[in-house]
Structure 1
């Protein structure tokens, strides 16, 4: 039988409160140290209310706002990968470089998806078929 890790919490309400605090610390760190996260957050702060206003149905509103939240989520994961890679070594290593490039590619793909969703939802209103 394996022993539980001393680094893992045991659960309960205190764990939830601590996890929430760690999440806020992560958001703060991303805001302080990641220019891309700041830019995407500011863009989301403008576009999410716009998407909620432009969406005609709950599904459209969810799609328009949800993909913007997804951009932030993927950017946070990319930033975590980059920070971890830099903590391991700041010297060039092909696998660390690949990890950073793959994280960046994930952000690119979600940005393309975001543009496609916004076009798919909004374009038919201005260019009916």
Structure 2
């Protein structure tokens, strides 16, 4: 029996790559327009990239410093997607909807904590 497929997915080839890239850009643009926390985190990311390149640390450490802040953006996008799906299903308050949103927020919070610990460790090992 054949699996059902979405009419929105292209089958293969360059068109699939083009569509995937287009959807990714649309997703980033939508997050920028609608998510205040995403805009704040993009600003922090831009500053972190500049600061990481200026720091007198190894190339690998620069990569890690930039990577953990990029990870915050990735998890924020996933959290925003979860919130959008929950809101799409229903705007009424429900304990499971609250859990889904809280779990997403907790994931973002833990990722920010990871980024802070990573930056603190690299800076401490370099300057202390």
Counterparts of 1:112 and 1:50, CA distance in 2: 18
Any unmatched runs of 5+ in structure 1? Answer: none
1:29-40 mapped onto 2 (5 Å cutoff): 29-40=30-41
Match of 2:14 in 1: 13
Match of 1:88 in 2: 89
Match of 2:3 in 1: 3
Moved over 4 A (4+): none
Match of 1:49 in 2: 50
Counterparts of 2:40 and 2:58, CA distance in 1: 28
Any unmatched runs of 5+ in structure 2? Answer: none
Q: Specify whether residues 78 and 5 from structure 1 end up closer, same or farther in structure 2 by C-alpha distance, changes over 3 A only.
A: same
Contact 2:57 2:126 in 1 (8 A): no
Normalised TM-score (structure 1): 0.93
Q: CA RMSD in A?
A: 1.2
Aligned pair count?
127
CA shift, 1:55, in A, is 5.1
Contact 1:41 1:72 in 2 (8 A): yes
Match of 1:108 in 2: 109
Deviation per residue, 1:61-99 (Å, 9 max, x gap): 111000010000000000000011001011101111100
Normalised TM-score (structure 2): 0.94
Match of 1:23 in 2: 24
CA shift, 1:3, in A, is 3.3
Counterparts of 1:23 and 1:85, CA distance in 2: 21
